[in-house]
């Protein structure tokens, strides 16, 4: 096998340095790995956690062979998949694809370790492509930052079967209970880690599963699997741009014609047992046929995925664990060519990604006006791209709310009822040297969270700002894996988190928002003048379930109450920018003001509860800051509170602006979505779907 460029980079100097080969004796076998002197790490690669699977049947845990020696110095075969990413990996010699691909990789601090937390990566790629040998997923930089931050972890990455090989579905598949094989492969890998990671110096009780896109959806499926019984295989999760809800769980009626097309193309269409026939078709033949415009997602199977994700979340049948969940600002899950309402309806009701009923789709069109100012990509004002569709920005907004923003909210809200350490984020830093007009799109955070400056597929860039941001987020993620708190990153105090500051009467536990990861450093890290005006340097951010905002110690407002501008029920990004960062409120060092707070109410809390929360926040600020200014008076200014209806259908309120402490009376325009569709002025961002 060709030695991947990733390993050449990571292992440079190992021969000249005559490094000692690391060896681990475990119940599974004796593994001979490779020392990485540049990182002072030991890597054990290509470890088979399952034997070569029988095609279209579940994998099984590999037999233990404690006296057998295994070469674990190179990546193993990656699972067969077709797409631009895998094509590039193969053509550049990074990997070889095949069916005997169920292997994993372990990267750990060098030498003997004991009881280290484990951060386990599940790659994305639409469940169609992806590989652990991809240099963008090099774990050495992540593990290195954990050590430098005095919170060492062990990094693990796992392979799983893709597309038709891992997610084929039809009545034939359902009858033989061979659904969701790719997800079941992941579960087998988790069982191998639980059984053997202690031999590598890891703690099987401290595993955090982590994924992006389809990898994050996989993580969400593991959270919901078996009615929430995680079998002790993981204690926490990180979900980037995916979660426990979506992509749609289409049934046999959706997939049957795809299966029939595959069987016919492979010469198995007329066989009595077409599935057995497909198992015997050579990989060289069935491989390309399995990707003739066909995409396979997860499916309801009654066990691993017992029901729709939102049903599991709303009924409490999911694993109650600490999580980090988030999205990029724009994601970009819409499609081009949407020019009319009819085009939008067709996509919403027939695309594999949405599959809404027509009444639901009609409701969405009412709630999302074709106004380019409020559409995605955000921050571009009224600019449009008619070559992508006359309703391009409108449909992008609907698509990303359905596929990522609303599911992210629902997961955080439901999980926070059981766990206080639930964190949510929005990634707003664009990829290096990107020409994309989608904005801060899907996958934008990956170069940062892995921090590999050498890979050139999706480069990180060598600017100080990118390197610093990358180190920050790597330390946040590994800090979370280490002690379930991402704020132990060793950098500037970017977050305000108080685990004891809960909403009164314990209606809901706190949900924290990690400090916005967009440009927290001195250079203005935006792509145009409008975005530059929203630079969020040195913000300290907090979020409670239903109440979120920022505290900026040296920001004040005018002496008289500031009237909030009109609110159009935009997404998280626009609502936050309109209310939290208005240029007229950016005066600094104004005497007598300790903070400006812009909370968001999303769940229709009782006004009395809201008042208690704000009074407690006032007391907290006064206690922390004392009197400011010669007058000896200190004031808390609440400048904005808006609402929207989230995916659960609950309504909230929208308040005007306060000044000079807490008001004794506030006018509350109540948004009643049960009687009529809201106007464009008061439309909610989210609706039940």
| 181-207 confidence digits (pLDDT tens) | 999 999 999 999 999 999 999 999 999
* pLDDT at residue number 353: 74
Q: What dihedral angle (degrees, nearest 10) is formed by the CA atoms of 172, 128, 378, 210?
A: 100
pLDDT surpassing 60 at residue 683: no
* pLDDT at residue number 225: 97
pLDDT surpassing 80 at residue 218: yes
pLDDT digits (tens, 9 = 90+) for 353-363: 777 889 888 98
* pLDDT at residue number 676: 27
660 catalytic? Reply is no
**Among the options 146, 213, 397, 416, which is catalytic?**
213
* pLDDT at residue number 615: 52
Which distant-in-sequence residues (6+ apart) come within 8 Å of 84 by Cβ?
129
pLDDT band at 6 (very low <50, low <70, confident <90, very high): very low
**Which is nearest to 471 in space by CA: 457, 450, 488, 497?**
450
CA distances from 155 to 108, 158, 193 (A): 6, 10, 11
**Among the options 172, 212, 331, 562, which is catalytic?**
331
How far apart are alpha carbons 673 and 689 in whole angstroms?
Answer: 15
pLDDT band at 412 (very low <50, low <70, confident <90, very high): confident
Which tokens go with 143? 């593990």
Which tokens go with 445? 């955070």
Which tokens go with 470? 């990358």
- State the DSSP string of 253-307: HHHHHHHHHHHHHTT-TT-TTHHHHHHHS-HHHHHHHTTSS--------SSSS-S
Backbone angles phi, psi at 123, to 5 degrees: -70, 160
Parallel, antiparallel or unpaired: strands 202-212 and 593-597: unpaired
Peptide bond into 558 cis (omega under 30): no
pLDDT band at 440 (very low <50, low <70, confident <90, very high): confident
How far apart are alpha carbons 259 and 219 in whole angstroms?
Answer: 26
* pLDDT at residue number 595: 37
213 catalytic? Reply is yes
Across residues 74-103, what is the average pLDDT?
94
Q: Which residues of 555-574 are buried (b: 16+ CB within 10 A; e: fewer)?
A: bbbeeeebebeebbbbbbbb
**Among the options 442, 482, 489, 642, which is catalytic?**
442
445 catalytic? Reply is no
Q: What is the CATH number of domain 5-480?
A: 3.40.50.1820
Mean pLDDT is lowest, of 210-219, 385-394, 520-529, for: 520-529
How far apart are alpha carbons 126 and 31 in whole angstroms?
Answer: 32
Across residues 391-403, what is the average pLDDT?
90
Peptide bond into 295 cis (omega under 30): no
Three-state DSSP at 334 gives coil
Find which of 196-205, 290-299, 300-309 is predicted with most confidence, using mean pLDDT: 196-205
pLDDT surpassing 50 at residue 660: no
H or E stretch covering 345: helix 341-350
CA distances from 673 to 360, 368, 650 (A): 14, 15, 9
Across residues 103-119, what is the average pLDDT?
97
Place of tokens 């892995």: 450
Find which of 207-221, 380-394, 402-416 is predicted with most confidence, using mean pLDDT: 207-221
Across residues 519-527, what is the average pLDDT?
27
Three-class HEC string of 302-319 = CCCCCCCHHHHHHCCCCC
**Does this model's pTM top 0.85?**
no
Domain boundary assignment for the chain: 5-480, 546-643
Q: Alpha helices of 92-136 — where are they, by DSSP H?
A: none
Mean pLDDT, all residues of the chain: 73
């Amino acid at each position: 096998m060709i030695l991947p460029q990733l390993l050449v980079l990571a292992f440079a100097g190992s021969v000249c340095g005559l490094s000692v080969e690391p060896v681990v004796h475990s119940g599974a076998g004796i593994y001979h790995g490779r020392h990485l002197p540049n990182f002072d790490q030991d890597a054990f690669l290509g470890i088979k956690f399952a034997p070569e699977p029988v095609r279209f049947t579940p994998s099984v845990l590999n037999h233990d062979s404690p006296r057998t020696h295994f070469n674990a110095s190179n990546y193993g075969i990656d699972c067969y998949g077709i797409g631009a990413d895998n094509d590039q990996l193969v053509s550049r010699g990074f990997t070889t694809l095949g069916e005997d691909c169920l292997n994993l990789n372990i990267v750990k601090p060098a030498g003997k370790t004991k009881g280290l937390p484990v951060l386990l990566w599940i790659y994305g790629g639409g469940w169609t492509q992806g590989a652990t040998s991809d240099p963008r997923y090099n774990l050495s930089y992540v593990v290195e930052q954990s050590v430098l931050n005095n919170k060492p972890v062990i990094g693990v990455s796992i392979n799983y079967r893709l597309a038709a090989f891992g997610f084929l579905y039809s009545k034939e598949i359902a009858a033989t209970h061979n659904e969701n094989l790719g997800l079941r492969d992941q579960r087998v890998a988790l069982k191998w880690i639980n059984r053997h990671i202690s031999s590598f110096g890891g703690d099987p009780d401290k595993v955090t599963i982590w994924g992006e896109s389809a990898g994050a959806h996989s993580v969400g499926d593991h959270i919901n699997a078996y009615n929430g019984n995680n079998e002790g295989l993981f204690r926490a999760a990180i979900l980037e741009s995916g979660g426990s809800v979506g992509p749609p769980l289409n049934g046999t009626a959706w997939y049957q014609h795809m299966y029939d097309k595959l069987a016919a193309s492979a010469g198995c269409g007329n066989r009595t047992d077409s599935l057995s026939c497909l198992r015997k078709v050579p990989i060289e033949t069935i491989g390309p046929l399995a990707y003739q415009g066909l995409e396979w997602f997860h499916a309801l199977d009654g066990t691993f995925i017992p029901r729709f994700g939102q049903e599991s979340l709303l009924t409490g049948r999911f694993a109650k664990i600490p999580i980090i969940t988030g999205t990029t600002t724009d994601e970009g899950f819409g499609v081009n060519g949407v020019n009319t309402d009819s085009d939008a309806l067709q996509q919403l009701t027939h695309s594999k990604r949405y599959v809404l009923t027509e009444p639901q789709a009609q409701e969405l069109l009412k709630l999302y006006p074709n106004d380019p100012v409020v559409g995605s990509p955000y921050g571009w004002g009224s600019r449009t791209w008619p070559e992508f569709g006359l309703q391009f920005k409108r449909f992008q907004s609907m698509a990303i709310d359905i596929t990522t923003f609303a599911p992210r909210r629902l997961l955080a809200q439901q999980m926070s009822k059981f766990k206080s350490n639930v964190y949510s984020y929005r990634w707003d830093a664009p990829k290096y040297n990107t020409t994309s007009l989608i904005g801060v799109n899907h996958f934008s955070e990956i170069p940062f969270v892995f921090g590999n400056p050498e890979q050139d597929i999706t480069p990180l860039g060598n600017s100080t700002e990118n390197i610093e941001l990358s180190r920050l987020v790597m330390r946040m993620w590994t800090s979370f894996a280490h002690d379930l708190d991402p704020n132990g990153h060793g950098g500037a105090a970017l977050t305000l988190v108080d685990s004891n500051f809960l909403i009164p009467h314990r209606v809901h536990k706190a949900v924290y928002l990690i400090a916005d990861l967009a440009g927290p450093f001195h250079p203005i890290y935006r792509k145009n003048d409008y975005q530059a005006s929203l630079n969020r340097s040195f913000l300290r951010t907090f979020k409670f379930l239903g109440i979120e905002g920022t505290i900026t110690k040296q920001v004040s407002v005018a002496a008289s109450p500031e009237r909030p501008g009109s609110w159009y029920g935009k997404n998280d990004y626009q609502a936050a920018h309109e209310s939290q960062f208005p240029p007229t409120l950016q005066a600094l060092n104004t005497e007598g003001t300790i903070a400006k707070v812009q909370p968001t109410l999303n769940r229709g809390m009782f006004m009395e509860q809201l008042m208690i929360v704000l009074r407690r926040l006032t007391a907290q600020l006064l206690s922390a800051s004392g009197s400011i200014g010669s007058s000896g008076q200190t004031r808390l200014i609440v400048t904005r509170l808006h609402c929207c209806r989230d995916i659960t259908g609950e309504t909230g309120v929208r308040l005007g602006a306060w000044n000079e402490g807490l008001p004794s009376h506030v006018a509350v325009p109540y948004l009643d979505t049960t009687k009529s569709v809201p106007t464009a002025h008061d439309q909610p961002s989210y609706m039940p779907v």
